[in-house]
A and B are shown apart, each in its own frame.
Chain A
């Protein structure tokens, strides 16, 4: 879920969503939006104009106070006090506080009646002024703290963005070095190893890109990454002369950065494996990639190729790619199944836990991978 960063002038009032069943929820939303819009307008006008508006508001409340007689409206003077303090500063808040107390004194019809002591109404007005002054002081302090906090958050966000930028630049350097080193090799198979390494670096970089672009810096939708990666690998690794049909069906699945990087590398290995071994020497083929969410997420990479060799044992005679897949799946507390598909070809399924609070994830038992020939 994307969250809106509060600006310094957002006060406490933001549009609040109530359940759809709440009575007049749309009216509520409209009112909240109108208030929000009004507050945004207030934030844009000058401090002097806000103070003038607060003075007018005090006059209106004083008039109501006068016409309603004995009913106390003292609490309503807090509205102009709060607005003046938040949008025009502490001094303006104090001024409106004193003005409100004076207006209350003038507007209170009890003034014309006999008090137990002639100074009592003035004492009461002074107490009101003090109360408004304290409110203005506390609110202006809160406003200052909020502004400081916002500034810190902005600085951290900028630093984090810079870190992501540095990470991507460094990944570019690694990718460049791999390319330059690969040039020195004459054997095509050796070069292919370096190309695979570059693909892995590329996968990690794209994930950082997605995280950085989303502005969330913590969670991301793995479906977007999976689609992009499948497209990129198919474009660059499809066997020559093979017409490949690619079907990617990916539901949105939220993952954190660590899981995303590991899962991205797993997907990279599975896709490369399918592209390298599933379609070699064939005129056409089909590659299916699926991602499904739920209590336990599921990623499937399936080809319609020759399938696994007889007696295949992922734990014994598999290559580096499968070894990495098994290790990384354990790392994300998942389960890997690499098996022959009933419709022909190879099917690799990675089950992995849904994004949960860290404490919950830590207490989950580790599941061991299972392999099926």
Chain B
């Protein structure tokens, strides 16, 4: 069975959309639900789910694209590192085109820097093993789904006795920005479409405090179109009943307690820190940096470099987009000066970025 295909069934999609329309018909105030995972953002645009929903339901995107929430200062450091003659940068592909203050990794590669795109952090460990005279730096960005894979690579490098594998770590954790956005008086969020695979790691219990403290419904939802619509239906039902609880739509993968082994790896290799988010600012305890006992693998400590002065991109609204306050269509640069081929801001780069998804699939 192909578990992606069965959850894309057209008739099911239409039936679910009709059910949501029936439930919300005649509401005067629309219900606003936020998704905080880039894969949801992409799925909602790719399958045109907004156009299937009635005007009584609005979906907005939050800070769910890992590449997009990574600030310029991180990219500037990666760029400074790639200019060292004995450094190989290994990264997931999306990072390459993200503009830093004055350059991008793509531009640096064209000028001769050794930058490799890998599928798994374990490929970067292999790269280090094969190039003992080089220092391999992996760009560790991503939320709780990706962070354990990076932890795994550090543990593998340690087990192999490698001293030339490093990680430039800027991991983020999800529940904190959701709390900040819930408390924002300028923003109306009637419910969260909670991330699918982040929740596979942290468990659905992690959102309970949002329901209790902020009275906001939370539904952990899968990525396929029927998943998203069923998740929205569950949020609608909660909102109408005046409830706020955590529910799991994506029960085929997500458990209440999450993945204990991955959580243990995170706790071993990383330490929480106050991470900077593009557009949102520094949030207490919202990121993961490498723990002191693995400091030898921390590129920031082990390979000191001079980093250029920070410059933000004029006119880019990424920060407001990541908070769900404006849509890409509100940005005067959208589609003109800023396109996926020549992005001005990070939200236009990754396929999980709201601007890139809006550009590719339209409204």
* A and B pair up: no
State the B residues within 8 Å of A (CB): none
State the A residues within 8 Å of B (CB): none
